[in-house]
Amino acid sequence: MKAECTAEQAFEWTDGNCIFASGSPFDPVEMNGKIYYTSQCNNMYVFPGLGLGASICGAKKVTDRMLYVAAEALANYVSSDDHSKGKVFPSLGEIRQVSHTIAIAVIKEALKENLATKDVPLKDIHNFVAKRMYDPVYVPLVEKREVTI
């Protein structure tokens, strides 16, 4: 509602020759027989992985270079199929994998800058990070029992 322009306007005004990302979600736009997709640009792509990586390795601080490698890891995660559709961010369904990838990049940079205070096994960094990721699986608080009277 408060966007500078809609996805439809951006694609229409540029004859489909633009890359459109917005903080708000927009439906795909069909124009001249082609479908154009909007990427939702949001800090949720970078900050969870950045925080995860920094906390796992006990980084003394988060540097500009760590932010850079986090953004670079995100950009490199976007598939060629996504690019062909005009998307500049991966699907939200891949956010856990994106965070994992970003965390690894941040940890490696923290180690490179000698800012890590915890040991990180580089040979098994993928599993090391994966085991430390929060898994939002909820279990019942009360066991259901069948009662017979």
pLDDT, tens digit only, all 149 positions of the chain? 777 889 999 999 999 888 888 888 889 999 989 898 888 777 889 999 999 999 999 999 999 999 999 999 999 999 888 887 778 888 888 999 999 999 999 999 999 999 999 999 999 999 999 999 998 888 777 777 777 77
What are the φ and ψ backbone dihedral angles of 51, each rounded to 5 degrees?
-65, -40
CA 4 → CA 22, 25, 35, distances in Å? 9, 13, 21
Fold of 43-130: Rossmann fold (3.40.50)
pLDDT at 25: 83
Tell me the pTM: 0.76
pLDDT at 69: 98
β 34-36/29-31 pair status: antiparallel
Q: Which DSSP category does 85 fall into? A: T
Let me know: does 77 contact 101? Beta carbons within 8 Å: yes
pLDDT at 60: 98
Q: Where in the chain is the domain with CATH 3.40.50.10380?
A: 43-130
Let me know: does 57 contact 116? Beta carbons within 8 Å: yes
pLDDT at 14: 93
d(CA 102, CA 45): 9
CA 129 → CA 24, 78, 82, 99, 108, distances in Å? 30, 21, 26, 10, 12
